[in-house]
Amino acid sequence: MTSTRVLTGITTTGTPHLGNYVGAIRPAIAASQDESVQSYYFLADLHALIKASDPKRVQQSRLEIAATWLALGLDTDNAIFYRQSDIHETTELAWMLSCVCAKGLMNRAHAYKAAVAENEEGGSPDPDRGITMGLFSYPVLMAADILMFNANRVPVGRDQVQHIEMARDMAGRFNHLYKGNYFTLPEAVVDERVQTLNGLDGRKMSKSYDNTIPLFSSEKKLLKLIRKIKTNSLEPGKPKDPETCTLFQIYSAFASESEEQAMRTRYAEGIGWGDAKNAVFEHLNAQLEGPRGEYERLMQDPDHIESVLQKGAERARAEANTLLERLRPAVGLGRFV
């Protein structure tokens, strides 16, 4: 058995965009090919229910995200790729963890505190107005996702570090109460080198801002979106600063060092914004053309995607069952004979 286990969840609440690819998908897929690491990648579709109330959108997002990861080369022989909702043991573990988790810990969760603050700022007499138990307790479900496979490392953004600390708290409390070394205490991994792309309006690329470029847009749509990227009013012939330019940032995220340097030279020479946008489109389109074709093929073959996920779920459930068979008697739920 490999000594290092890495787990990553992918929330199924939208269409993957360039920012998702650069910030999370690309490094995760590279890691999936490292045979010295056992990687777990799962579609966090139960988490998606907290915010998404349209079942058709949730279903479509699950399909799109699974197809995206497979089209981009996820190694499903080495990594275990599965749907969260297929591992029923996870919700059983979440209940066990809920029974050792202090409510005060959940009161301090960033998402819950932000929702309460929004209600208070809006003058609501009920600070919990509109807040579901899903939102309140989802750090427990996240802890179950992680602890089910005793992941050593969990790559997250800085805003998610608190959830890993909560998982450590629950794991340590369970181990203490039931006098055993049942769970590994996971470590948050924040890679400061991971790039954050800006979107069409210059802000961070995010579905919340409606400023994204879907990863597998058609050629026509990709060109249209790139032409909408906000630039300044400098005319052709005037030197331009690549460090403050969204166009250059997106280009460099997909470019080699020599390609990036060549584009820097064109900026210094005063490339026109129209020419810059055309160059960015041509470069991105050339890199995405192959995966886009594979993505479109996979979207027309959901049976294949389902078979891949079922194989992953079978592997994941085998491990999950082994752990639950150990945990049930530990808490007094085991068989009589």
Residue positions forming the annotated binding site for L-tryptophan: 145
* DSSP characters over 106-142: HHT-HHHHHHHHHHHHTT-S-TTTT--HHHHHHHHHH
- Provide the annotated binding site for ATP: 11-13, 19-20, 157-159, 197, 204-208
Task: Count CA atoms within 13 Å of residue 233 on its CB side.
Answer: 0
- Provide the annotated binding site: 11-13, 19-20, 145, 157-159, 197, 204-208
User: Are 298 and 64 contacting, i.e. CB atoms less than 8 angstroms apart?
Assistant: no
DSSP type of residue 201: T
Q: Give the span between the Cα atoms of 19 and 25, in whole angstroms.
A: 9
- 243 three-state secondary structure: helix
Host H or E run for residue 153: strand 153-155
Q: Give the span between the Cα atoms of 131 and 115, in whole angstroms.
A: 7
* β-bridge mates for residue 82, sequence order: 42
User: Are 79 and 32 contacting, i.e. CB atoms less than 8 angstroms apart?
Assistant: yes
Buried b (16+ CB within 10 A) or exposed e, 289-313: eebbebbeebbeeeeebeebbeebb
Positive or negative, the Cα torsion across 48, 312, 317, 36? negative
What are the backbone angles phi and psi of residue 242, rounded to the nearest 5°?
A: -70, -25
User: Are 206 and 212 contacting, i.e. CB atoms less than 8 angstroms apart?
Assistant: yes
